[in-house]
């Protein structure tokens, strides 16, 4: 069952999706599952407008860090460094009361402002504290907000957050240095070296990485745990972050294959076994039935990261054909179109074939049944995984490269990319050198070998390329 905050988020997202409505003027409040829309507007269609601006203030440890992560990603693709100097106001509001997990209210927009860069930098500054194992503090949850009791006393630590912070620092510290903010860059990089050392010393469980440490120091995501012995995103982000050696990355993802992938049902579990009777309790995640949502379901958002991790590892072993099959196989497990049309599980899935599900259930009696639908955040990551991991497209402001990881059965695939005023058409093709050249001649295309940088701004308004598949 959705919380009031989750319902409110969904309604606001739906209003923003409707082009005939000015959603910025619609207030959305939810209490005990009842949605109230309020506002003074000119037309019936705009009746849904007049936002309260209310939101929830929490002790979650990851929310703030997506700002520098997304900013760095955007700058890599665009080089639009002027964005960093945009002035953005702060919000003002009451602190979370002592003993409470969160506070819901409408904050005030402060007269104080700072650049977008400063806002992003402060999120990292605020995230440097560590616990007794040298890892970042979990707070009342990290990406998995259902793990709300792991660090509620302020001492619990998150392994996943350490990976995420290593990635954030690796991408944002160069931005700080380019702005002559050397003190910050060095402070962050020093912290990252400490996290990496602590991950090696305290988070490695022998075959995979642990998930977290509770306030009292007990482990979560260890082979010693009867429940939640292994957690998906702690393994996937060991790869995505690149913050540990390749041998441990490969071992972690082998453990994912062994313990979290159900190939018969086509499912990628977020953790296993599900949490039922675990003491200490990890949080409200244990209120979900086993195999539902974060409690061991196929949680699409996190499962996409496993796809991306497998693709990144497969790129290191181009002759390992089985490894190169895994990313697309995972894609079919996540794709609503594939699940809905499946001969045996399509009817059980029961959701739209054109919208991402938040989760798919993994435990009897609901195996393969779709959970929440229209999960736009998961859809965005799925799109990135298809383009960046399976087709292997990496873009900067000036160049692009492909390192495709397409399944062997695919003899041909096509992708059209539009950037600024340029349209680029790519044909991915298997064949001999003469066959590839013949196709290139027929299309008026050039051969673009994998991993070869293309200076896309220099090719003209329209151009075509053949990308050979091995």
Same topology, domains 54-256 and 400-468? Answer is no
Whether the full predicted model's pTM is greater than 0.75, yes or no, is yes
Mind listing the pLDDT tens digit for each residue in 306-327?
999 999 999 998 888 899 999 9
Determine whether domain 54-256 maps to CATH 3.40.50.720: no
CATH of 400-468, one of 1.10.260, 3.30.70, 3.30.43, 3.30.1050: 3.30.43
CA-CA-CA-CA torsion sign (411, 318, 163, 157): positive
Q: What CA–CA distance (Å, rounded) separates 173 from 176?
A: 5
Which residues of the chain have a pLDDT value below 70? Answer: 1-2, 14, 16-26, 32-53
- What's the 3-state SS for 256-279? HHHHCEECCCCEECCEECCCCCCC
pLDDT of residue 32: 61
138 and 150 Cβ atoms separated by less than 8 Å: yes
Minimal CA–CA distance to 468: which of 419, 422, 406? Answer: 406
Q: Would you state the torsion angle of the CA atoms of residues 156, 161, 163, 167, taken in this order, to the nearest 10 degrees?
A: -150
Cβ-proximal residues to 59 (8 Å cutoff; 6+ apart), any chain: 96, 101, 102, 139, 140, 141, 152
Q: Would you state the torsion angle of the CA atoms of residues 328, 333, 339, 345, taken in this order, to the nearest 10 degrees?
A: 130
Minimal CA–CA distance to 72: which of 42, 22, 116, 41? Answer: 116
Residue 461 has φ and ψ, to the nearest 5°, of -75, -35
Mind listing the pLDDT tens digit for each residue in 170-209?
999 999 999 999 999 999 999 999 999 999 999 999 999 9
Q: What CA–CA distance (Å, rounded) separates 160 from 220?
A: 12
Q: What CA–CA distance (Å, rounded) separates 107 from 387?
A: 38
Q: What CA–CA distance (Å, rounded) separates 306 from 402?
A: 20
Domain ranges in the chain? 4-52, 54-256, 260-390, 400-468
Minimal CA–CA distance to 331: which of 285, 379, 264, 282? Answer: 379
């Amino acid at each position: 069952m959705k919380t009031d905050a989750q319902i409110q988020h969904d309604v606001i997202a739906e209003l923003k999706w409707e082009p005939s409505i000015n959603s910025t003027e619609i207030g959305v409040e939810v209490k005990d599952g009842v949605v109230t829309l309020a506002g003074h507007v000119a037309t019936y269609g705009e009746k849904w407008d007049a936002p309260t601006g209310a939101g929830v203030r929490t002790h979650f440890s990851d929310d703030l860090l997506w700002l520098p992560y997304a900013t760095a990603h955007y700058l890599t693709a665009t080089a639009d460094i002027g964005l960093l100097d945009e002035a953005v106001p702060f919000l003002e509001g009451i602190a979370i009361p002592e003993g409470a997990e969160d506070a819901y209210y409408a904050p005030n927009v402060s007269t104080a402002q700072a650049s977008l860069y400063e806002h992003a930098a402060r999120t990292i500054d605020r995230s440097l504290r560590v616990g007794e194992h040298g890892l970042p503090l979990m707070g009342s949850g990290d990406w998995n907000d259902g793990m709300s009791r792991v660090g509620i006393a302020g001492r619990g630590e998150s392994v996943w957050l350490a990976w995420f912070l290593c990635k954030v620092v690796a991408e944002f510290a160069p931005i700080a240095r380019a702005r002559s903010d050397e003190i910050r860059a060095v402070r962050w990089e020093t912290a990252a070296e400490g996290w990496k050392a602590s991950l090696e010393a305290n988070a490695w469980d022998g075959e995979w990485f642990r998930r977290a440490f509770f306030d009292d120091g007990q482990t979560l995501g260890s082979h010693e745990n009867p429940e939640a012995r292994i957690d998906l995103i702690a393994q996937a982000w060991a790869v995505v972050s690149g913050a540990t050696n390749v041998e441990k990355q490969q071992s972690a993802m082998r453990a994912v294959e062994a313990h979290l992938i159900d190939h018969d049902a086509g499912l990628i579990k977020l953790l296993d076994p599900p949490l039922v009777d675990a003491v200490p309790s990890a949080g409200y995640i244990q209120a979900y039935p086993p195999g539902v949502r974060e409690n061991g379901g196929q949680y699409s958002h996190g499962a996409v990261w496993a796809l991306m991790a497998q693709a990144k590892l497969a790129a290191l072993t181009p002759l390992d054909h089985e490894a190169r099959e895994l990313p697309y196989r995972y894609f079919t497990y996540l794709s609503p179109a594939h699940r809905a049309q499946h001969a045996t599980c399509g009817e059980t899935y029961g959701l739209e074939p054109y919208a991402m599900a938040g989760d798919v259930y993994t435990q009897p009696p609901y195996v393969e049944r779709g959970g929440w639908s229209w999960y736009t955040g998961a859809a965005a990551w799925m799109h990135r995984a298809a383009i960046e991991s399976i087709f292997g497209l990496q873009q900067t402001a000036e160049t692009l490269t492909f390192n495709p990881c397409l399944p062997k059965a695919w003899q041909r695939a096509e992708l059209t990319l539009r950037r600024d005023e340029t349209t680029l058409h790519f044909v991915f093709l298997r064949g001999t050198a003469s066959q590839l050249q013949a196709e290139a001649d027929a299309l008026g295309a050039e051969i673009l070998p994998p991993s070869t940088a293309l200076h896309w701004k220099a090719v003209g308004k329209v151009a075509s390329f053949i990308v050979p598949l091995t």
